[in-house]
């Protein structure tokens, strides 16, 4: 029992309790602060001292020059030039709006731009590449460099940096093969192949620049400088690490063949087209071009205006950024007939001596299929059917293939390299399509029953729909390279090369070797064939003889073009129907005959019959490849087709 002070106010006890609680809280807070200070100063003192010292040092990344790209004879196709760029680092600009605006006005005066233009570039480039400095002008003069050095305190965040810029001595030459270079994007930085890069680094974006970027790119260097609190250099540099230039890449391209091909494509009134010239034994690409083309130097600018992309994407521009040689997927017309012939011979549908009566037409299910130009060739065997390009002969082979139900044409088209990626060392290659009954029937089912699973993802000709299942007419059309078939010039070159070389399905390549900065070869690029297919020698020979007759004998579909040539060739015209569009012109040539070592595949959109445009274009390319004849005359004629020549 204890005595209670009756005179003590009741609130005093509560007050004392509250003071005790507040005192406890204060003690805890002071303990936390003390422990935190002890942690920072005692346990982590060395760490933060090092960071403080590091804040006095700025490391400047030194860009490495990319390696040169050369043709097979050492001719420079792409190299570098140095340029001085006026750059702004937005993070280093004054924080106060008024001071920031005043500095940007001074910068605009130096850059000969308006304040609005400077602010627009900062907004645009910061949005696209938020971690990169903003480049206002490139190729500025040294007086500006000296001025900024003398007035650096007035221009925080502004500098002039020396950068390496890709240089294209021959403008649009081989643009689709060479490709473009640009700053790495934030999305690309997340990819494993770019994990060692930093914002602002340059990488290949298309073509061989992209495919061989890891070899061309080089290793950046760095310079460590002591700076003051404002980030301004003070004193001499602390250390320096030299940048290592990228390796040089030598291509398989022959500059003469490439130039001849591009010239040939541009000579048909602006019609789009493409060509491929390839060694039939090892897959080396001697020339590859697509028309219309573009200037890769456009993409060396700090920023590419949206108006440029809008112009490229306009309908009148004809898609100049597309490489039609590996992305332009078309029906091939009669250039497909040697593939049909191979399938028919190897599966026993015919022999080299099988006679088919070409009456000028073949009627199937109420539809009449006719020869081009209404020709009637009578009783004819395979060699002459190829020579005169008898559609009726091959219509019958397509019908026999349908009735056999073995899909012989489709299987051999696949075997010879169509309907699949060739594996060329260029990005964004198209796969193409060899249509089959299963493919069309699935799409037809999908079209009529929306709940059915989708078929193969393929884009048909504009405006086409799959409104019926597969029929005999589809095999008949496929036999002459029509219908839903989609192939590009490179695939056709590979197929013809396979027949010419005895069965090796080549892996085409545009790179030949890689050299270091001292000129030593560090890598040779010699890909093995993808596979070998067995083609009986007698079958191969009758097909090549038919193609030789088509080019070199009177009555052959391309005799008016090649009949006067000093060098024999084998070749096939093709005329492909494309809905409401004018016919597409094709030609595929093998030279010299009888032991060819080059194949050239050319196509011209809306170019008419094969002998009208694609064959003369191929003749120009062959002349460049084979060299000139006596008296400076070309070894291959490029005369106009005779009136009445078809296919």
pLDDT digits (tens, 9 = 90+) for 88-145: 988 889 988 898 999 999 999 988 889 988 898 888 877 766 656 788 888 888 888 8
Average pLDDT over residues 275-298: 97
Average pLDDT over residues 586-603: 98
pLDDT at 457: 46
Residues 6 or more apart whose Cβ sits within 8 Å of residue 67? 215, 216, 218, 245, 246, 247, 248, 249, 517
Task: Say whether 622 sits in a helix, a strand or coil.
Answer: helix
Same domain for 287 and 176: no
Domain boundary among 251, 267, 285: 251
pLDDT at 143: 87
**Residue 5 pLDDT exceeds 70:** no
Cα–Cα distance, 334 to 340 (Å, whole number): 10
Residues 6 or more apart whose Cβ sits within 8 Å of residue 593? 544, 548, 552, 568, 569, 570
- Classify residue 38: in a domain, yes or no: no
**Residue 483 pLDDT exceeds 50:** yes
Same domain for 465 and 574: yes
Same domain for 210 and 164: yes
Same domain for 482 and 521: yes
Same domain for 474 and 350: yes
Cα–Cα distance, 8 to 374 (Å, whole number): 128
Residues 6 or more apart whose Cβ sits within 8 Å of residue 190? none
Task: Tell me how far apart the 2 most distant CA atoms of the chain are, in Å.
Answer: 139
| DSSP per-residue letters across 492-538 | HHHHHHHHHHTSEE---BSEEEEE-TTS-EEEE--PPPSEE----HH
Same domain for 216 and 182: yes
Cα–Cα distance, 386 to 541 (Å, whole number): 12
Task: Say whether 286 sits in a helix, a strand or coil.
Answer: strand
- Classify residue 15: in a domain, yes or no: no
pLDDT at 456: 45
Domain boundary among 251, 267, 291: 251
pTM: 0.84
Q: pLDDT tens digits, residue range 322-348?
A: 999 999 999 999 999 999 999 999 999
Least confident of 42-56, 88-102, 233-247, 359-373: 42-56
- Classify residue 50: in a domain, yes or no: no
Same domain for 137 and 274: no
Q: pLDDT tens digits, residue range 436-447?
A: 999 999 999 888
* Two tokens, residue 468: 């019926």
Least confident of 126-130, 227-231, 449-453: 227-231
Torsion region of 378: left, alpha or beta (phi above 0 gives left; psi -120 to 50 gives alpha): left
- 378-380 vs 158-167, strand pairing mode: unpaired
pLDDT at 125: 78
Same domain for 267 and 173: no
What values do phi and psi take at 122, rounded to 5?
A: -65, -45
Which domain CATH number covers 512? 3.40.710.10
- Classify residue 644: in a domain, yes or no: no
- Classify residue 32: in a domain, yes or no: no
Model confidence band, residue 49 (pLDDT cutoffs 50, 70, 90):
low
What values do phi and psi take at 96, rounded to 5?
A: -70, 135
Domain boundary among 251, 286, 319: 251
**Residue 631 pLDDT exceeds 60:** no
**Residue 464 pLDDT exceeds 70:** no
DSSP β-bridge partners for residue 138: 85
- Classify residue 640: in a domain, yes or no: no
Model confidence band, residue 304 (pLDDT cutoffs 50, 70, 90):
confident
Average pLDDT, the chain: 88
Which domain CATH number covers 240? 3.90.1310.10
| DSSP per-residue letters across 125-165 | HHHHSTTSPEEEEES--HHHHHHHHHTGGG-TTEEEEEEEE
Where does 292-439 show beta strands of DSSP type E?
356-358, 361-364, 367-370, 378-380
Same domain for 591 and 496: yes
Centroid of chain to Cα 126: 27
Total domains present in the chain: 2
Question: Is 572 in contact with 547 (CB distance < 8 Å)?
Answer: yes
Cα dihedral 537, 540, 545, 551 sign? negative
Model confidence band, residue 461 (pLDDT cutoffs 50, 70, 90):
low
Same domain for 484 and 414: yes
Same domain for 265 and 198: no
Q: pLDDT tens digits, residue range 202-224?
A: 899 999 999 999 999 998 887 77
Same domain for 233 and 260: no
Nearest Cα residue to 255 out of 292, 290, 293, 288: 288
Average pLDDT over residues 372-401: 96
- Classify residue 557: in a domain, yes or no: yes
Cα–Cα distance, 198 to 402 (Å, whole number): 58
Model confidence band, residue 387 (pLDDT cutoffs 50, 70, 90):
very high
Domain that holds residue 124: 58-251
- Classify residue 317: in a domain, yes or no: no
**CA–CA distances in Å: residue 32 to residues 18, 19, 646:** 21, 20, 94
Burial class (CB in 10 A: 0-12, 13-18, 19+), 316: exposed
């Amino acid at each position: 029992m204890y005595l209670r002070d009756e005179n003590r106010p009741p609130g005093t006890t509560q007050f004392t309790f509250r003071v005790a609680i507040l005192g406890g809280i204060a003690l805890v807070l002071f303990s936390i602060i003390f422990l935190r200070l002890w942690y920072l100063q005692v346990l982590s003192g060395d760490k933060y001292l090092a960071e403080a010292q590091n804040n006095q040092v700025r490391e400047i990344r030194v860009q490495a020059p990319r390696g040169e790209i050369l043709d097979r004879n050492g001719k420079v196709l792409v190299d570098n030039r140095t340029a001085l760029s006026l750059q702004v680092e937005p993070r280093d600009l004054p924080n106060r709006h008024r001071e920031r605006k005043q500095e940007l006005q001074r910068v605009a005066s130096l850059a000969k731009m308006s304040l609005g233009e400077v602010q627009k570039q900062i907004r645009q480039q910061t949005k696209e590449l938020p971690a990169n400095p903003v480049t206002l002008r490139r190729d500025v003069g040294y007086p500006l460099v000296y001025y900024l050095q003398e007035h650096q305190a007035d221009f925080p965040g502004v500098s002039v940096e020396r950068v390496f810029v890709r240089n294209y001595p021959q403008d649009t030459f081989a643009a689709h093969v060479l490709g473009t270079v640009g700053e790495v994007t934030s999305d690309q930085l997340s990819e494993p192949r770019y994990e060692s890069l930093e914002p602002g680094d340059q990488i290949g974006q298309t073509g061989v620049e992209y495919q061989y970027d890891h070899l061309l790119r080089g290793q950046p260097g760095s310079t460590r400088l002591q700076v003051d609190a404002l980030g301004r250099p003070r004193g001499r540099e602390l250390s320096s690490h030299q940048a290592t230039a990228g390796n040089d890449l030598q291509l398989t391209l022959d500059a003469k063949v490439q130039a001849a091909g591009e010239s040939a494509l541009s000579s048909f009134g602006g019609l789009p087209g493409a060509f491929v010239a390839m060694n039939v034994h090892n897959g080396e690409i001697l020339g590859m071009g697509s028309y219309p083309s573009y200037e890769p130097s456009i993409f060396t600018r700090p920023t590419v205006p949206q108006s440029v992309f809008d112009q490229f994407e306009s309908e009148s521009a004809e898609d100049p950024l597309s490489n039609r040689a590996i992305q332009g997927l078309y029906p091939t017309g009669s250039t497909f007939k040697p593939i049909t012939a191979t399938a028919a011979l190897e599966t026993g549908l015919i022999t080299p001596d099988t006679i088919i009566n070409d009456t000028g037409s073949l009627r199937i299910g109420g539809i009449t299929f006719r020869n081009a130009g209404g020709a009637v060739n009578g009783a004819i065997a395979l060699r002459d059917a190829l020579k005169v390009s008898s559609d009726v002969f091959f219509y019958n082979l397509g019908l026999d293939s349908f009735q056999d139900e073995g899909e012989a044409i489709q299987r051999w088209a696949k075997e010879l390299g169509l309907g699949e990626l060739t594996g060329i060392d260029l990005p964004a290659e198209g796969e193409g399509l060899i249509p089959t009954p299963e493919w069309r029937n699935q799409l037809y089912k999908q079209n009529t029953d929306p709940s059915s699973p989708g078929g193969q993802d393929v884009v048909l000709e504009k405006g086409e729909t799959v409104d019926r299942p597969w029929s005999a007419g589809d095999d008949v059309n496929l036999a002459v390279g029509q219908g839903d078939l989609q192939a590009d010039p490179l695939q056709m070159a590979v197929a013809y090369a396979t027949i010419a070389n005895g069965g090796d399905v080549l892996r085409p390549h545009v790179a030949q070797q890689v050299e270091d900065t001292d000129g030593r070869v560090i890598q040779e690029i010699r890909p093995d064939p993808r596979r070998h297919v067995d083609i009986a020698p007698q079958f191969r020979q009758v097909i090549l003889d038919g193609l030789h007759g088509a080019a070199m004998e009177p009555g052959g579909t391309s005799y008016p073009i090649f009949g006067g040539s000093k060098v024999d060739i084998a070749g096939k015209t093709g005329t492909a129907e494309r809905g409401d569009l004018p016919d597409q012109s094709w030609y595929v040539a093998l030279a010299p005959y009888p032991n060819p070592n080059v194949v050239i595949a050319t196509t011209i959109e809306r170019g008419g019959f094969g002998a009208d445009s694609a064959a003369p274009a191929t003749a120009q390319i062959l002349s460049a490849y084979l060299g000139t004849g006596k008296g400076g005359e070309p070894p291959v004629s490029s005369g106009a087709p005779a009136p009445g020549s078809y296919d």
